[in-house]
Amino acid sequence: TMKNVSIYGKKWLDIIFEQKNKEYGAYQLRKNDEKTTLKAFFSAVIAICLILTAMVFFTSFADKPEELKIVLIRPVSPDIFKIKTEEPIVKKNLRSQKSVTKQKVYKSAPMQIVPQQQAVDFVPTNNEIKSSPTNSDAGSVNLLGVGTTSGTATLPEVTNPNGIETSDNVDTKPSFPGGIERFYIYVGRTFNKPEYDEPTTIKLLVQFVIERDGALSNIVVLSKTNDNLNNEAIRVLKSLKIKWNAGIKDGQTVRTQYTLPITVMSE
């Protein structure tokens, strides 16, 4: 009967393909379906195993990630970066003098009154002159004082009043009355600022000589940015009416070269 026949069995295939070509086509596919399914299943399992084995094999040779090492950095004491400032050494002019030599003082013998017959004129002979001791201790004349000395005095160095000293080569640096901030305020107010689309910071490096009376001379602009700006900076410095306190070296006012940066904000 048809109820006992399975559609997956061989009898069912024989009934369906009765009196038909069974050498190829659908008959062979249905007949070998079970074998084909098993082959495909085991082939897939083997392929998956091979892939997993290959992955494990290659990962074993891969470089291992380096371990992160945590290094503790101690905070650096700010005292290490403090610069020791050396106090300027003031050279003193020492006057070397030799001791004053004492001159021999010869006292004359007391005069005696004798009769004219016994008086003798004392005239030294040539031999007596040759044998008389010479005063080898006679000193040279000191033109600076009174008296005779055998030594020479070292005079203090005289600073050339017309020479120009640098600000680092003087005992007292030049200063502006009221402080350098007052000088910057004057420059900022007097400087004719150029007009820009946006606010701009103008930086100039100027150099000038502070004369012995505090006036400014030899004004130049070291940073060549713009001729108009350079000329304006020179004009502002020349228009300064307040005089600087001149630099001092060896107790005298000297001409001092001074370099100063100027910063102006444009409007």
Q: Which domains does the chain have, with CATH numbers?
A: 164-265 (3.30.2420)
pLDDT in the model for residue 141: 37
pLDDT in the model for residue 264: 79
Per-residue DSSP letter, 43: H
Q: Residue 234, Cβ neighbours under 10 Å: how many?
A: 15
Round to whole Å and give the CA distance between 123 and 229.
94
Q: Which residues of 215-233 are buried (b: 16+ CB within 10 A; e: fewer)?
A: ebeebebeeeeeeebbebb
Q: Which residues of 174-202 are buried (b: 16+ CB within 10 A; e: fewer)?
A: bebeeeeeebbebbeeebeeeeeeeeeeb
Provide the β-strand partners of residue 263.
203
pLDDT in the model for residue 23: 62
Q: What tens-digit pLDDT sequence spans the chain (267 residues)?
A: 445 555 556 666 666 666 566 666 666 666 667 777 888 889 999 999 999 998 888 887 766 666 666 766 666 666 655 666 666 666 655 554 544 455 555 554 454 544 545 554 544 555 554 554 554 444 443 434 444 444 454 545 555 667 889 888 899 999 999 999 999 899 888 888 877 767 778 888 999 999 999 999 999 999 877 888 889 889 999 999 999 999 999 999 999 998 989 887 776
Round to whole Å and give the CA distance between 101 and 135.
11
For the entire predicted model, the pTM comes to 0.40
